[in-house]
Structure 1
Amino acid sequence: MLVYEFKEKLHEDFVEERLNRFIVKTKSGRICHLHDPGRLKELIYPGNKILIREKEGRKTNCQVTAAWDGRWVITDSSIHNAIAKVFLPGAKPEVKLGNSRIDFLLCDTYVEVKGCTLVKNGVALFPDAPTERGRRHLEELMKVVEKGMKAKLLVLVMRDDAICFSPNEETDNRFAETFYVSLNKGLEVEVKEFRLEGNKVYYVKDIPLCGKR
């Protein structure tokens, strides 16, 4: 199922250097924005193949769209909510909840969206960098469940080679602990897998959690 289409043409290039967390210099001399808060060390490193598209920014004139890891892995988190909306028709975006903002409210269910790019041995792992913000979101969702309402974590795996999902304990043990506590209290978790073909993003399938504690 088609869920997103980039309007701009995607061009192949190679990473020359990651200048900082959000800026990549390419072999062709382009300075591109990297719209992803993760480390992406398995994807954005000198010599690796990437796809970029024209997009003007304050310091850049292109955007890194995907990186190669045996397949194209979408590295642009700016499209996550647009994809999520396909599965959440009629949802209200950007809803205040406690001290945080949650991505969507669908009827009586609060939904937070997270994008995942890291897969090891068939296991999709989130996060790939410590995320205090992500842990705080889980805590807010857990409070919702404790009050008798519904809450869901929607994970978008932006590649098609995972068979199950797990929180990344090695990278952020506090997030993982909060994830399992939230799960045991009744947080719903839905994990969807996607594939990039040309300039189009397709939904592939839902994948399960690797196991519960």
Structure 2
Amino acid sequence: MNPKPVYKILSPAFIDLSVSYRLIRWPKLIPGILVKRYKRFLADIKLDDGTIITAHCPNSGSMKTCSEPGMGVWISESANPKRKLSCTWEIIEMPGSMVGVNAILPNRLVKDAITYGLIQELSGYSEIIPEITTSEGTRLDLCLRSHECKPCYIEIKNSTYVEEGRACFPDAVTSRGKKHVEELERLANEGFRSVILFIVQRMDSECFSPADHIDPAYGKSLRKAVANGVEIIAYDTLIDLKGINIRNKIPVML
């Protein structure tokens, strides 16, 4: 069995923090108009020349408030001949903000941000281990380690659902998300630092709250976990046609 990779955490001095910097840069992007999203992972997109193509939608959620037909979108194209769909839907332009569609990117974004010391609340550690198994059948996104303190376990959640300035999670019922909350609560009870980090892939949110109207069981579990020592951190992102970067910490309203 191959050991998990371990990434060293660097100093912010190792990174150019200019306004133009993006932790994740897009490949070449192609503009289009969303025709429809269906079967969760498929989206029909009309290109500028009138051609309609089917692109992969890398998001398993409902994409509430960010999948309306007729909105401008941006897709990337892969040269990998093994892919069934060569194009991936990356961005949708909603009235208040561009929105990152790719739900895989927040994990990479957070790992890179921690590596370069850009998330102050998660500073003071020396190593990052991704995809760490914490109990039978359960893995969490990251573990931060240091010789000076106990490990910190982190689960990263992607939020694209914003209504009236409030970012919410989840946008569909999530038994898996509830399981992660309960696992972090168990680790907190054992004396470990446990964190749920919500990354909002858009720029029009003023605060974050659990979506009780969509999944009340998740919200209940989240509040119970916080009462037992689990930390919640929420950040929005800077997203444009250059790429994505961590932007501002936003208040958490429970």
What is the TM-score of this pair, normalised by structure 1? 0.93
Q: Secondary structure at the match of 1:133?
A: helix
Match of 2:226 among 159, 174, 183: 183
Contact 2:42 2:57 in 1 (8 A): yes
Match of 2:36 among 2, 17, 27: 17
Contact 1:193 1:204 in 2 (8 A): yes
**Superposed structure 1 runs of 4+ greater than 4 Å apart:** none
Match of 2:237 among 178, 190, 194: 194
The 5 Å alignment of 1:161-176 reads 161-176=204-219
Contact 2:64 2:161 in 1 (8 A): no
Match of 1:105 among 140, 143, 154: 143
Equivalent in the alignment of 1:95 = 132
Match of 1:4 among 24, 40, 54: 24
Structure 2: stretches of 5+ with no match in the other structure: 1-16, 116-126, 146-150
Instruction: Render the CA deviation track for 1:91-121: whole Å, top value 9, x for unaligned.
Output: 1001001231100100110010001001111
C-alpha displacement of 1:194: 0.4
Equivalent residues, number: 210
Equivalent in the alignment of 2:92 = 67
Matches of 1:178 and 1:155 in 2, distance apart? 16
CA 1:78–1:127: 2 relative to 1, 3 Å: same
Structure 1 counterpart of 2:88, one-letter code: Q
C-alpha displacement of 1:53: 0.8
Contact 1:10 1:199 in 2 (8 A): no
Equivalent in the alignment of 1:30 = 53
Higher mean alpha-carbon deviation, 79-88 vs 116-125, is at 79-88
CA 1:164–1:181: 2 relative to 1, 3 Å: same
Contact 2:201 2:237 in 1 (8 A): yes
Instruction: Render the CA deviation track for 1:56-90: whole Å, top value 9, x for unaligned.
Output: 56321100101121221001012111101123323
C-alpha displacement of 1:4: 1.3
C-alpha displacement of 1:189: 1.1
1:209 and 2:252 aligned: yes
Equivalent in the alignment of 2:170 = 127
Matches of 1:49 and 1:23 in 2, distance apart? 16
Matches of 1:160 and 1:96 in 2, distance apart? 33
C-alpha displacement of 1:44: 1.7
Match of 2:109 among 68, 83, 87: 83
C-alpha displacement of 1:176: 0.5
Instruction: Render the CA deviation track for 1:6-28: whole Å, top value 9, x for unaligned.
Output: 2x111211112223110101123
Instruction: Render the CA deviation track for 1:137-195: whole Å, top value 9, x for unaligned.
Output: 00000000111111101111111111111000001111100010011111011111102
Larger radius of gyration: 2
Contact 2:169 2:211 in 1 (8 A): yes
C-alpha displacement of 1:41: 3.5
Equivalent in the alignment of 2:118 = none
Structure 1 counterpart of 2:140, one-letter code: I
